[in-house]
Amino acid sequence: MSRRLDVGPDAGFSVVLAVFSILILLTLGIAMVSLVVQDSELSVTHVQENQAFYAAHAGIEYALGKLMSNWSWGGLPSPGKNVGVGSFWIAPPDAVDENGNPLPAGRKRVISTGIVGGAKREIQVQVAGGTISTLAGSGAPGYSGDGGAATSALLRHPEGVAVAPNGDVYFADTDNDVVRKVAFATGIITTVAGNGLPGSTGDGGPATSARLKAPEDVFVAASGDLYIADTGNHEIRKVATATGVITTVVGNGSPGSTGDLGLATAARLNSPRGITVASNGDFYIGDRSNNKIRKVTALTGIITTYVGTGTAGYSGDGALATLARLNRPQGIHLASNGDLYIADALNSAIRKVAAVTGIITTYAGTGTAGFSGDGGAATSAQLNAPEAMHLNSVGDLYIADTVNNRIRRVSSGGTITTVAGTGTAGSAGDGGSATAAQLDTPRGIAIGSNGAYYIGDRNNNKIRKVVNFAVVAWVETRT
Is residue 207 within 8 Å of residue 192, measured between CB atoms? yes
Q: What would the pLDDT profile of 123-174 be if each residue is shown by its tens digit? A: 999 887 778 999 999 999 999 999 999 999 999 999 999 999 999 999 999 9
Torsion angles phi and psi, residue 117, rounded to 5: 60, -125
d(CA 296, CA 436): 41
Torsion angles phi and psi, residue 309, rounded to 5: -90, -15
Report the candidate in 368, 367, 336, 338 with the shortest Cα–Cα distance to residue 353: 338
d(CA 445, CA 447): 7
- Would you state the pLDDT for residue 26? 58
Q: What would the pLDDT profile of 2-29 be if each residue is shown by its tens digit? A: 444 344 445 444 544 454 565 555 555 5
Reported as half-sphere exposure (CB side, CA atoms, 13 A), residue 294 has a value of 38
Using pLDDT thresholds of 50, 70 and 90, give the confidence band for residue 405.
very high
Residue 169 CB neighbours (<10 A): 26
For the cut 50, the answer to whether the pLDDT of residue 453 exceeds it is yes
**Going along 86-234, which residue ranges are E strands?**
86-90, 107-116, 119-136, 158-163, 169-173, 178-182, 189-193, 217-220, 226-230
* 272-277 vs 246-250, strand pairing mode: unpaired
Q: Please, what's the b/e burial string for 243-261 (b: 16 or more CB within 10 A of its CB; e: otherwise)?
A: eeebbbbbbbeebebebee
- Would you state the pLDDT for residue 471? 77
- Would you state the pLDDT for residue 10? 53
Is residue 250 within 8 Å of residue 214, measured between CB atoms? no
- Would you state the pLDDT for residue 7? 43
- Would you state the pLDDT for residue 29? 56
- Would you state the pLDDT for residue 22? 59
Query: Which DSSP category does 140 fall into?
Result: S
- Would you state the pLDDT for residue 65? 75
* Angle at 64 (CA atoms; ends 183, 53), nearest 5 degrees: 125
Go through the chain and tell me how many residues it has.
Answer: 479
d(CA 399, CA 371): 13
Residue 305 CB neighbours (<10 A): 19
Report the candidate in 355, 252, 263 with the shortest Cα–Cα distance to residue 303: 263
d(CA 199, CA 255): 15
Q: What would the pLDDT profile of 75-89 be if each residue is shown by its tens digit? A: 999 888 898 888 998
For the cut 90, the answer to whether the pLDDT of residue 300 exceeds it is yes
d(CA 204, CA 200): 12
State percent of the chain over pLDDT 90. Answer: 71
- Would you state the pLDDT for residue 16? 46
Give mean pLDDT, residues 356-367: 98
Query: Which DSSP category does 170 fall into?
Result: E
d(CA 401, CA 331): 12
